A and B are shown apart, each in its own frame.
Chain A
Amino acid sequence: MTEKLTLIIDGQEVTTEQGKTLLEVARENGKDIPTICFHEATTANALCRICVVEVEGQRVLQPACIVKAAANMKVQTRSEKVVRARRTILEMLASTMDLSEAAEIQQMMYEYGASSSRFPGAERRESDVKDDNPMYVRDYSKCLLCWRCVQVCADDAQYTFAINFDGRGFETQIGTFFDKTIPETTCVLCGQCVGVCPTGALKPKREYLLEQGMSPQEISVLNSGRKRRKEKPT
């Protein structure tokens, strides 16, 4: 039997079971906490910090996706401090990456009054579209480093470990070991990563080709007789 505990969220007393995160408890009680890097199918890592909440007695804001509810906690999900933090996170994202296909984040920006020009002249994280296999493309200009793809490739689903963080600080990017092309890595092309990508950075090849203006018929002919290169010597 799991032990019950009581805490206060936005002034409302709620009862829940031991072991649940603040995000879970809040959602069970109809409180909306936004998330970006969090996904039900992956391990929560509190990377994006958009889910932060204010907990009385804590010096800094707490990420609701990993902090466990405790007895008598007093939590504010929309305090001024929380709203300002979320808005700043969104503004920093918008100033450095391409959010054009992240509909949920665009909606959050509208909701939080975030301005994409808050940090004019910020250096953007730009990179070319990596099109190195017939199944999916990688456009890291759209990547916000939520880590979901790395996790499903690892022990959240696939146990394949083909991709990981590469580089440090601002230069951080998702990459393969030794920057190999996808087919040369341990990748099994399962596309679990594509399935959890929140921003369109990972995309099925056929969707990408449609965007490039190719017709379904042109796409279908494309993979039916491609010329092959000579095998590299081993």
Chain B
Amino acid sequence: MIKPDHITTTTCPYCGVGCALQLHVKDDFIFKVTSPFDSPVNHGNLCVKGRFGYDFVYHPKRVTTPLIRKVKQEAGGRTQAFDLSEWREATWDEALDYVADRLVEIYKRDGSDAMAVYCCAKATNEDNYLLQKMYRALFRTNNVDHCTRLCHAGSVVALQQAVGSSAMSNTASQVIMNDVFIVTGSNTSENHPIISLQMKEAVEKHGAKMIVVDPRRIDLVDFAELWLPLKPGTNVPVFTAMAYVIVEENLVNHDFIDDRTEGYTEFLATLEKFTPEYAEELSGVPAGDIRKAARLYAKAKNAAIYWGMGISQLSHGTASALALIHLAFLTGHIGRDGTGLNPLRGQNNVQGASDMGAMPFHYPGYMRVDNEANAAKWEKTWNIEPGGLSRKLGLTTTEILGHAHEGGIRSLYIMGENPMMSEPNLNVTRQHMEQLEFLVSQDIFINESGAYADVFLPATPFAEKDGTFSNTDRRVQRVRAAHPPRGQSRPDWQILCDLAKRIESRLGPFDHTQGRLATAKWDYSNPEEILREMASVNEDYAGITYERIDKVGLIYPVPDMNHPGTPTLFTESFPRGRGKFHVLDYVPVREEPDDEYPFILTTGRLLEHWHGGTMTRNSALNEIYPEARVEIHPADAEIHGIRNGDPVKVQSRRGEVVMRATVTEKTTVGVIFVPWHFAEAAANLLTNDALDPQAKIPEFKACAVQVFPARESDLANPEAVLERGRY
């Protein structure tokens, strides 16, 4: 038995659930993680990542010294350097001066449009606020985005259009108050494990009925009343056919529609063709099951919808989310406890990073950048001359790299993200990365993206810094350092303050013609001062202080210092006034299967890994799930002569990867599944970079592929052993 030197209470750095962690520390080493049983979020339960997946902090490959590339990188000829021999160690002064020099040189030469930054949904609210502030206040650009674009952008845009707010309307722990709930496009057991426990509890102990709408036979199906295995990308017809049934059988909540919504008549006019039979033809889901699902949901006293990326990651992701929103409007299942529209946010702090304005169209607090009054508020806060901030909407994540060329984006600053794993169609992403003139990586490991950088700034992971994360149900919680930073690494907020001061001084002193004032303020003695500056303008956070969130956090909106938080939104009205019905049509996925590429590839995540793998592939988690596997249905496997464990080449029009097959009924006929965590068999080499026209989210969830038997020698790591009996 090891007696800890101390126990640090903090928030899990993996998914959006935001579980409370107690880090048991001995000699600056976390040897054990527990969770308090009275935690309101996770009740003492954790998943494998939260309880055991913190060893990346001590991995020998973690970089803890600032690095500069030995060979100067040029636009067009940029290369990846994973090996430390291609880098030289630098002091912080040298590295930060170099970054400031190069960024300012490019800014002075090519202006704001040449500058871009990826913020980070893993980093704290304070880190993200500072980084977007640095780019907006100093480089006067809104080319600020982060991976929310790749995950729930479709949901965010749809919710903004229909209700005027984009977070979960209710908390995840309210799932036990549901009588009926729909889970769609979310493999909750693997991606939000603790919420899946609450869903199972709702079914097993509280008599709730669960409807799973998903192309895969995910673990939750074992607990479901109904499973609707739809063809990927047919959400709009399936959910709109449910709306059809609700209207046809007069299960409509007329009072709610009259009092709280608009556009119902126009919506009705377009509903006619969406019969369950039409939806069956497109989706493969039996019309009878669509009817049953519609009745269950509409007749319930309290019903809610929980959804994941299967809804949003489509070239019509916005429309998919709107189809769900319509169900809540028709039935009035929103605005009360145990109901709601609940997009399960992926990253630990993707909600927070979005709240902090790490997006190209919004300042912190979802204040549009093209609104004069909003801009004026931030100009005042940041000591910027009136009219100084850019009113132009910035570029999104995928667009930023797409504009990496002469006359476009010349420099990119990446904090913690890994676009070389997370972007669609990676072969093209690679070409874009090579075109950058200057690239900074602020991270803990040299990942596939950082390997392209000119400068590597070693930041600290969650265990070595203070701040806040905002979880999927809008609960703002504390992050606390368990021990000092390793080596010379520094917390992100300190790196950013130091760098911003150097950039500001290079941009020149106060200039009467330009109007730049003395400083936008970069002297913070602690992260709470950063949060308070943000909260002075962002009303949702106005009543949040570190003292108030010390124990269990607060659920925003928290408009003042005495406000207890707001677990359930929209009880009286929607932020935009009335909820707006939208007219929808069925738009197929951009690339449908054909003779040459007969399978639909859908991508997703695994319980044991996290996104681009920067953390989990440098952890013992990689030992229990060391390799990518393509899931293929037994019927399809037989036709192609593929046995369980065989090496298989998966090919799309954009790329190919080789990995072993798992022959399983977890996937449906005609659909294959590949997780996207594994660089040596990167699923995103295959995916389609077609974008949703409004949300700009890529179509990760459906593209056409073919499979071929491959040889053992084609595998990147034929020795890897996958020995798992779990679902």
Contact = CB atoms under 8 A, between A and B. Distances in A.
Interface of A: 40-41, 100-101, 133-136, 152, 155, 157-160, 180-181, 183-192, 194-195, 200, 204-207, 210-211, 216-217, 219-221, 223-224, 226-232, 234
B197 A155 contact: no
Contacts of B61: 224
B54 to A, nearest CB: 9
Given A204-B33, A228-B720, 18 more contacts: A41-B44, A183-B624, A186-B725, A186-B727, A188-B193, A190-B46, A190-B47, A191-B46, A195-B46, A206-B32, A216-B27, A220-B60, A228-B626, A230-B719, A230-B721, A231-B645, A231-B720, A231-B721
A205 B1 contact: no
Given A206-B31, A231-B722, A134 B623 contact: yes
Interface in B50-105: 51-52, 55, 58-61
Interface residues of B, number: 55
Contact of B45 (A133, A158, A184): A158
A216 B32 contact: no
Contacts, number: 140
A216 B31 CA distance: 9
Nearest to A229: B721
Interface in B14-54: 24, 26-35, 37, 43-48, 51-52
A223 B620 contact: yes
B200 A159 contact: yes
A188 B607 contact: yes
A220 B55 contact: yes
Given A192-B45, A210-B31, A220 B193 contact: no
Contacts of A41: 37, 43-44
Contacts of A200: 1
Contacts of B720: 228, 231
B688 interface: no
B511 interface: no
Contacts of A228: 626, 717, 719-721
A226 B717 CA distance: 13
A216 B27 CA distance: 8
B52 A191 contact: yes
Nearest to B623: A134
A189 B624 contact: yes
A37 B200 CA distance: 25
Given A41-B37, A155-B204, A210 B2 contact: yes
B259 interface: no
B236 to A, nearest CB: 32
A210 B25 CA distance: 12
B51 A191 contact: yes
Contacts of B2: 207, 210-211
B26 A188 contact: no
A232 B32 CA distance: 32
Interface in B675-727: 717, 719-727
A216 to B, nearest CB: 4
B664 to A, nearest CB: 12
A221 B685 CA distance: 31
Contacts of A135: 48, 51-52, 620, 624
A193 B636 CA distance: 39
Contacts of B30: 206
Nearest to A211: B2
Given A188-B193, A190-B45, A216-B58, A205 B620 contact: yes
B200 A221 contact: no
A1 B654 CA distance: 66
A130 to B, nearest CB: 15
Contact of A180 (B58, B620, B725): B725
A158 B48 contact: no
Nearest to A101: B1
Given A207-B2, A220-B55, A223-B55, A192 B32 contact: no
Contact of B52 (A136, A152, A158, A231): A136
Given A41-B37, A158-B45, A210-B26, A184 B725 contact: yes
Most buried by B among A180, A186, A231: A231
Top 4 A-B pairs ranked by shortest CB distance? Answer: A216-B29, A191-B51, A220-B58, A134-B620
A191 B44 CA distance: 11
A204 B52 contact: yes
Nearest to B644: A234
9 contacts: A41-B43, A134-B623, A159-B200, A188-B48, A188-B193, A189-B52, A205-B52, A207-B32, A217-B58
A3 to B, nearest CB: 24
A188 B726 contact: yes
Interface in B450-468: none
Contacts of A188: 47-48, 193, 607, 726-727
Most buried by A among B61, B620, B724: B620
B173 interface: no
Most buried by B among A101, A206, A224, A231: A206
B618 interface: yes
A81 B644 CA distance: 62
Nearest to A158: B197
B426 to A, nearest CB: 25
B48 to A, nearest CB: 4
Contacts of B44: 41, 195
Most buried by A among B48, B607, B727: B48
A210 B721 CA distance: 26
A158 B45 CA distance: 8
B725 A187 contact: yes
B52 A183 contact: no
Contacts of B29: 210, 216, 219
Contacts of B626: 228
B51 A195 contact: yes
A192 B624 CA distance: 17
B59 A220 contact: yes
B568 interface: no
A210 B197 CA distance: 32
Given A191-B51, A207-B32, A210-B2, A224 B719 contact: no
B619 interface: yes
A233 B383 CA distance: 67
B283 to A, nearest CB: 29
Contact of A204 (B32, B193, B197, B205): B32
A217 B59 CA distance: 9
A133 to B, nearest CB: 7
A229 B720 CA distance: 7
Nearest to A196: B44
Contact of A159 (B204, B607, B643): B204
A217 B62 CA distance: 13
B645 A234 contact: yes
A24 to B, nearest CB: 16
B153 to A, nearest CB: 30
Contacts of A40: 37
Contacts of A152: 45
A89 B150 CA distance: 59
Given A185-B725, A204-B52, A211 B1 contact: yes
Contacts of A205: 52, 620
B675 to A, nearest CB: 16
Interface in B477-509: none
Nearest to B189: A188
Contacts of A229: 719, 721
A184 B51 CA distance: 20
B73 to A, nearest CB: 28
Interface in B169-212: 193, 197, 200, 204-205
A206 B623 contact: no
A210 B27 CA distance: 11
Most buried by B among A186, A205, A221, A224: A224
A213 to B, nearest CB: 11
Contacts of B721: 228-232
A194 B29 CA distance: 19
B55 A157 contact: no
